[in-house]
Structure 1
Amino acid sequence: MAAAVDLAERRARALIGRVERRSLGVVRAAEAAEFARAAGETSPRLVDPDDAGFVVHPMYVVSLLRGAPGPGDEELRPDGMYRDEVPGTDGLDVGLMAGGQDVRWLAGVRPGDRIEVRRTLTAVERKGRGTGFLLLTVEKTYGTAERGALAEVTERFIVR
């Protein structure tokens, strides 16, 4: 594992500052409502697209990793994560864990919004003793061409 973590560190450091963009498709009210129900919400304004006051749950957009129809098997790691979700780790036998997330909402997401995410790896830190682990920091901005940024997210990933 130590060699894999070392390789992941070299790969990740080479990616620092590189901006990636991905279309996440159009926000569909029915899918946003299903997300809210799965999150335990019961308010009609979050779970009923026919409700006059319907709004998209704030966490829905930051939960999106891909647009419909979702991933093919070739896009996933054996542990179920996307192969490219944690920079520098594709194809390596490393353990991955979420290391925290900070979200700043700038505007509400609306049904019909065509969402694009911009992602940049901003930091790679070696932590712990011995081989230790990596802490990768990724900045994401979710937005639309028409309305600009909707949410800014800082995510951290632990690589062991």
Structure 2
Amino acid sequence: MSPRSLILDTLARLLYPMMLLAAVVILLRGHNEPGGGFIGGMVAVSATALLAVARGTDGALRALPLPPLPLAAGGVLLGLLSGVPALLLGHGYMTHLWATLPLGFTEFAVSTVLLFDIGVFFAVWGALGGLCAEAIGLDEEAGA
């Protein structure tokens, strides 16, 4: 294993959670505004790539909530399932539905669009985050 930079490792430890928080903000903002699942997922992928550079492939993959393939497949499945509620109500598949959740001090808009965007987020993060981490790891193997 090649030596790692202490500064890069420390910086990655600080930036990783902030980048994931930014990814979630972009994800949640995007279901009513431009942005959403894809660009939020790409921010999460960049956080994973940062960890892969700082800590290696294994360190980056351990930081994912699930291994890359189940994360991506679960995202695709969630995206596909987001169209089912409309079918159950007699509408066409992928006709999206909206509702509001009263939180006492405010209301939160929820929709099947948000479920779809969350699915896209996890599909992108799992597929491209895993690919990125493995591609960065190819350099580790070549240098070993």
TM-score w.r.t. length of structure 2: 0.27
**More strand as a share of residues:** 1
TM-score w.r.t. length of structure 1: 0.25
